[in-house]
């Protein structure tokens, strides 16, 4: 394990204090599998209560100062008022996520649909999301498309790429100078023969063609099994095109489990590339966000645990002896280079993070503090009646 000298601890602490992890509004609502959405007591009934829960996560972690919105799930009459409410709770409204996958019109796709009327409807929604960004002060518009085909010959693969490019260009032209478009990719699902944005290369190519403020989003669960995600991270960082990273964990496909729960070593390897590029803090421009569905576990503790897991992986990555690693790499010392990484990974960083939380006036154990706070009991009592938020709401 790495020796935690005062100098090494101070260097790691500086970056850990700057780390920001956005939480998603939809993770606080009910979710489930294809077969069942499981309801829990105390789930938010509107965007304001989602903000309350997000602010609670930030209060106990100190590292989650913004919440992403999903439109139309989080639609309100006055977004400026919603932004003010968030600010009053000590957080900000972050990324605006579009939704062009839950309408009957999108059965054959949204912006790639062969019907020009449907494409117009979908693009108009993306433009509406930019309008919302203007009102909330949000910097980033995140685009994920369920578009694709299920059968050979169902539609022209090339034409669908042309339609996608046209919609991206129109949406990009509507952005303000300080706003960005983040394009997310996914290998498969819900389409099974072709997906119109299936991988990082497709997303990267469209971003290059669209403009410098169009950047790629990586989601941990959106790859084929065995994909070397840290390679993609390193490549896009080198090209200056990594705009966002959605944290979750997977065993088989897009499981959306708590980050670090399935393969914590993968999370460490990813964070090592991010640390190497000096891209942990907000100045690097990467929108780090949890994108998870907490189906059977309590929502808020699960989100707190995910934030802590990202912090632990980051702390370990910050403890890599970069000089020793570079020396071993230059000398072709395969075992020595690997040992440097493994020494950092096997270091118990929990005491360091507990110390940092205490120094910041936080409880060293955020989950225990949350459970003692009375907040879980209060929301179970107060949020009786009404319509709980969840998939499609």
Q: What is the pLDDT of residues 326-339, one digit of tens each?
A: 999 999 999 999 99
pLDDT score, position 5: 84
The answer, yes or no, to whether residue 391 has pLDDT greater than 80, is: no
Q: How many CA atoms lie within 13 A of 360 on its CB side?
A: 22
pLDDT score, position 390: 84
Q: What distances in angstroms separate CA 372 from CA 59, 80, 364, 376, 378, one per listed residue? A: 13, 33, 13, 9, 12
233 Cβ contact list (under 8 Å, min separation 6):
218, 242, 245, 270, 273, 274
Q: Is the dihedral of CA 264, 305, 140, 114 positive or negative?
A: positive
- State the pairing for strand pair 31-32/37-38: antiparallel
pLDDT score, position 393: 45
SS3 349: coil
Beta-bridge partner residues of 132: none
Please, what's the largest Cα pairwise distance for the chain?
66
Provide mean pLDDT across the span 98-115. 97
Domain spans of the chain, in order of start: 17-320+361-382
CA dihedral 316, 261, 304, 349 (to 10 degrees): -20
CATH number of 17-320+361-382: 3.20.20.150
Q: Is 332 left (phi over 0), alpha (psi -120 to 50) or beta?
A: left
Tell which residue, 253, 255, 254, 236, has the closest CA to residue 245: 236
312 Cβ contact list (under 8 Å, min separation 6):
260, 349, 350, 353
pLDDT score, position 330: 98
Assigned token pair, 119: 């494409």
Strand stretches in the chain, DSSP E: 23-24, 31-32, 37-38, 66-70, 92-97, 140-143, 148-149, 180-184, 194-195, 214-219, 242-247, 287-290
The span from the CA of 347 to the CA of 229, in Å, is 23
pLDDT in tens, 57-87: 999 999 999 999 999 999 999 999 999 999 9
pLDDT in tens, 277-333: 999 999 999 999 999 999 999 999 999 999 999 999 999 999 999 999 999 999 999
Element (H, E) at 368: helix 366-372
Assigned token pair, 300: 């808020």
pLDDT score, position 392: 53
pLDDT in tens, 201-245: 999 999 999 999 999 999 999 999 999 999 999 999 999 999 999
Q: What distances in angstroms separate CA 242 from CA 59, 183, 219, 232, 360, one per listed residue? A: 28, 10, 11, 9, 30
The span from the CA of 314 to the CA of 293, in Å, is 22
DSSP states of 46-96: SHHHHHHHHHHHHHHHS---EEEEETTTT--S-HHHHHHHHHHTT-EEEEE
Assigned token pair, 292: 């998870």
């Amino acid at each position: 394990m790495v020796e935690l000298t005062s100098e090494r601890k101070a260097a790691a602490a500086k970056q850990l204090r700057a780390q920001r992890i956005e939480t998603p509004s939809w993770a606080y609502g009910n979710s489930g599998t294809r077969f069942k959405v499981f309801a829990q007591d105390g789930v938010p009934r509107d965007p304001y209560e989602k903000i309350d829960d997000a602010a609670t996560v930030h209060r106990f972690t100190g590292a989650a100062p913004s919440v992403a919105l999903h439109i139309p799930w989080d639609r309100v009459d006055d977004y400026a008022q919603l932004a003010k409410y968030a600010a009053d709770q000590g957080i900000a409204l972050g990324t605006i996520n579009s939704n062009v996958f839950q309408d009957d019109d999108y059965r054959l796709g949204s912006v790639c649909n062969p019907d020009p009327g449907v494409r117009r409807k979908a693009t108009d929604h993306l433009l509406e999301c930019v309008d919302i960004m203007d009102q909330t002060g949000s910097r980033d518009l995140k685009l994920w498309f369920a578009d694709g085909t299920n059968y050979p010959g169902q539609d022209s693969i090339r034409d669908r790429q042309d339609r996608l490019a046209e919609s991206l260009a129109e949406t990009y032209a509507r952005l303000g100078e300080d706003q960005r478009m983040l394009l997310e990719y996914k290998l498969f699902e819900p389409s099974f023969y072709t997906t119109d944005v299936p991988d990082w290369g497709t997303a990267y190519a469209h971003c290059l063609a669209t403009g410098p403020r169009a950047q790629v989003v990586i989601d941990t669960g959106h790859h084929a099994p065995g994909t070397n995600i840290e390679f993609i991270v390193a490549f896009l960082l080198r090209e200056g095109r990594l705009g966002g990273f959605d944290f979750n964990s997977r065993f088989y496909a897009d499981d959306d489990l708590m980050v670090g729960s399935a393969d914590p070593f993968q999370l460490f390897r990813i964070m090592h590339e991010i640390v190497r590029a000096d891209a942990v803090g907000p100045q690097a421009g990467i929108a780090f966000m949890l994108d998870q569905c907490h189906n059977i576990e309590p929502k808020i503790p699960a989100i707190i645990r995910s934030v802590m897991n990202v912090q632990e992986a980051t702390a370990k990555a910050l403890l890599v002896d970069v000089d020793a690693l570079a020396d071993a790499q230059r000398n072709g010392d395969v075992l020595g280079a690997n040992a440097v990484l493994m020494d950092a990974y096997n270091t118990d960083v929990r005491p360091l993070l507990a110390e940092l939380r205490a120094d910041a006036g936080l409880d060293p154990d955020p989950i225990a503090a949350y459970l003692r706070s009375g907040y879980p009991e209060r929301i179970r009592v107060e949020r009786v009646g009404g319509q709980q938020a969840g998939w499609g709401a």
